[in-house]
Amino acid sequence: MTEDAYVRMEDITKTFPGVVANDEVSLSIRKGEIHGLLGENGAGKSTLMKILYGLYTADEGRILLDGEPLEMASPQDAIDAGIGMVHQHFKLIPRLSVSKNIVLGMREPSARFRGDSDGLLSALTSARAVSGLARRFTLGLDEPETEIQSLADDYGFDIDVTSKVWELGVGERQRVEILKALYRDVDLLILDEPTAVLTPGEADRLFETLRELATEGLSIIIITHKLDEVNAVTDRVTILRDGEGVGTVETADVDADALARMMVGRDVLFDVDKEPVATGETVLEASGLRATDDRGIDALAGVDLTIREGEIVGLAGVSGNGQKELAEALVGVRETTAGRITLGGEDLTHASPRTFIDSGVSFVPEDRHVEGCADDLSVMHNAVMKGYGDEAFSDGPWLDYEATAEYAERLVDEFDVRGITDVEEITAGELSGGNLQKLILAREMVREPDLLVANQPTRGVDVGAIEFIRERLVEQREQGTGVLLLSEDLDEIFDLSDRILVIYEGEIVYEATPAETSRRRVGLEMNGGDAGPASRQVAVDGGHGESR
């Protein structure tokens, strides 16, 4: 089998400060095959491909192309070696035409200077000085344009290469990205989550195209977390988990269940000091929520959700399926396009963030530096970011900074935020990830909210702080707060939640209690479940213990 391999990555190891992204991972790709790379967020797929694409250099291990070792220092080297990448966020310039986008950087001189013709001009052109000038100061577009147009036509891309990119839709733009790679004669094409922005119809067309390309000898790697995709188009699939390679299998030999098991690992339930708490009134009720993401694409496709006092609802899902938008919608930061949000009986649909805050909603955002604090301001300022208007601190227009300082000190104390000598001198940006997160949590929790939405609260946080944060979440629940915990860490979800929900492509597709389900089942649902509508039912009786 190894003789078949066109590209081999052998024992690749890559470490970043504090984390091993790839731990002796091996991958082998045959010529003309479509190979899936499957794994959860943080499994290491992106890093591995960035190494293959020349953006990163591996610490250990090597890459072989057709049996020869390959050294790459930049994406340009990768392109020269015949490796092309279609990014998730397209690298296109809307103002320019398709053909200009494709030839950018190649410096093709115009036809006259290409040295095709005989005679004096050709002789002159071969002189380096002349060709250098020609490549800079002319633009060869007609021949490339014809070539690109015929490439496009060959693959059934319905694109006019003279049209400007801003005129094209998402699916068409992706095809332009693919054309970019094809035009540069790549032999290996890597696609990063290609169907993330496509409609199902467009996704099918993409798969058709990929199959055609593979038949012609192009090797293709698809990075994905969607099991139905793996089934639909790949020949083989390699699974990564926590930086390690779990295995490579023929797609035809496995089913979604088995893949999920490989992705997620065995069931391990931690022991948590969690006392059963009687859940009380409904704190939050959301029905039919729809919203778009920052790019205007639908992110929520009708979400129904209920949270009661004294319960932790864990929302599991792979990043990019609508969690961020849901969290933001539930705290008033993102406008909903349809649906209702009721908080403690009051209708808060379309209300401002301020109203949500005043109604007892607390929010720990995903990106603490961008949304959760002001790096350049002091710990004190950040401690009262939302509460500065409370009676405790303000009297009319005046703000009592002594009171805020005291409050900040109290937060720091209660939540063991380390590294603070003076709450007014130290800035939020100077705190370590874990300590900053503790500060933000303190700010959001000490005010005794009715609803707490926490989005990836332990991401990027050191182990000690993680424990602390989890304990506090449980404590909050004991105090009667309704908690919505969004996390990509299944351990965390299973440890802390009273109920587990799974979000996939903007909808809640599964609900169960930890006791009733398994990580394998949840992992399966997170990645699309079994192909077919049957598995999409909200099943209360998970597949725990069942075998196929």
Partner 1 sequence: MKLDVELTPREQVPRWMGYGTPVFTILAALAVSAVALLALGVSPLAAYRLMFVQTLTTSFGMTETIAKAVPLIFVGLAVYLPLKAQLWNIGAEGQLFLGAIAGSWIGVNVSLPGYALLPLMFLAGGVAGAVWIAVPAWLRAKLGINEIITTLLFVFIAAEIKNYLVRGPMQAPGANFPQTAQLPVAARLPELPVIGFPAGIVLAIAFVAVIHVVLNYTRLGFEITFIGANDEAAEHAGMSKLKIYTVVLLSGGAIAGIAGVSEIAGVQGRLRAQFAPGYGFTAIPIALLGRNGAVQVMLAACFFAVLFVGGSSIQTLLSVPAAIVDIIQALVILFLITAEFFKQYRIDLSLGERPDPGATGSVEGDL
Partner 2 sequence: MAGLLTGLANATVNASTVLILAGLGELISERAGVLNLGVEGIMLVGALSGFVTAFVTGSYWLGFGVAILAGGLISLLHAFLCISLNSDQAVSGIMLTLLGTGLTTYFGNSWSGKSISGFPERTLPLIGDYLVEIPVIGSALFQSTVTDYAALALVPIVWCFLYRTNVGLELVSVGEDPETADTMGVDVFKMRYLAVVLGGMFAGAAGAHLSLAFNEIWSASMTAGRGWIAVALVIFARWRPERILLGAYLFGLFNALQLYSQGIDLTLGAGVPLAGLVNPVLSFVSNPTIMSTYPYIVTLLVLVVTVLRAENRELAQPSALVQSYSRELD
Rule CB under 8 A: say whether 429 interacts with partner 1.
Answer: yes
CB of 46 closer than 8 Å to CB of 21: no
297 binds partner 2 (CB under 8 A): no
Under 8 Å CB-to-CB from 455, ≥6 apart: which residues? Answer: 323, 324, 327, 363, 364, 365, 366, 486
CA dihedral over 180, 186, 192, 196, signed as positive or negative:
positive
CA distances from 121 to 116, 133, 139, 142, 474 (A): 9, 14, 17, 19, 79
Q: If binding is defined by CB under 8 A, does position 381 make contact with partner 1?
A: yes
Residue of 62, 136, 350, 354 that binds partner 2 (CB under 8 A): 136
Q: Cβ of residue 430: shortest distance to partner 1, in angstroms?
A: 5
Nearest CB to partner 2, comparing residues 90 and 388? 90
Tokens standing for residue 179: 């054309």
CB 97 within 8 A of CB 162: yes
Position 14 contacts partner 2 (CB under 8 A): no
Position 247 contacts partner 2 (CB under 8 A) = no
- Using CB under 8 A as the binding criterion, the count of chain residues that bind partner 2 stands at 23
Judged by CB under 8 A, the residue of 16, 67, 69, 104 near partner 2 is 104
Q: How many CB atoms lie within 10 A of CB 4?
A: 11
Which CB atom, from 383 or from 500, has the smaller least distance to partner 1?
A: 383
Q: How far is the CB of 173 from partner 2 (least distance, A)?
A: 12
| Residue 352 in contact with partner 1, rule: CB under 8 A | yes
Q: Between 309 and 348, how does the x/- string for binding to partner 1 read (CB under 8 A)?
A: ------------------------x---------------
> Which is closer to partner 1, CB of 396 or CB of 545?
396
- DSSP-assigned letter for residue 97: B
The three-class DSSP label of residue 266 is coil
Among 4, 67, 93, 142, interactor with partner 2 by CB under 8 A: 93
Using rule CB under 8 A, residue 55 touches partner 2: yes
For residue 119, the Cα-to-chain-centroid distance in whole angstroms is: 56
Q: How many whole angstroms separate alpha carbon 294 and alpha carbon 360?
A: 26
Cβ proximity to partner 1, 159 vs 490, nearer residue: 490
In the complex, minimum distance from the CB of residue 319 to partner 1, in angstroms, rounded to a whole number: 8
b/e map of 446-468 (b: 16 or more CB within 10 Å)?
A: beebbbbbbbbbbbebeeebbeb
Please report which residue ranges of 246-309 form alpha helices under DSSP H. 256-264
Question: With binding defined as CB under 8 A, does residue 150 bind partner 2?
Answer: no
Other C-beta atoms lying within 10 Å of the C-beta of residue 30: 17
Residue 293 is which amino acid? Answer: D
Q: Which is nearer to partner 1, 97 or 437 (CB)?
A: 437
Q: How far is the CB of 180 from partner 2 (least distance, A)?
A: 8
Other C-beta atoms within 10 Å of 202: how many?
18
Smallest gap from residue 367 Cβ to partner 1 (A) = 9
Q: Does 266 bind partner 1 (CB under 8 A)?
A: no
Residue 3 or 402: the one with the smaller Cβ distance to partner 1 is 402
Looking only at the bridges linking them, the beta strands covering 361-364 and 346-347 are unpaired
Which parts of this chain interact with partner 1 (CB under 8 A)? 16, 19, 21, 41-47, 56-57, 59, 73, 243, 333, 352-354, 357-358, 363, 365, 370-377, 381, 384-386, 388-389, 394, 397-399, 401, 427, 429-430
Which parts of this chain interact with partner 2 (CB under 8 A)? 55, 75-76, 79, 91-96, 100, 103-105, 107-109, 135-139, 166
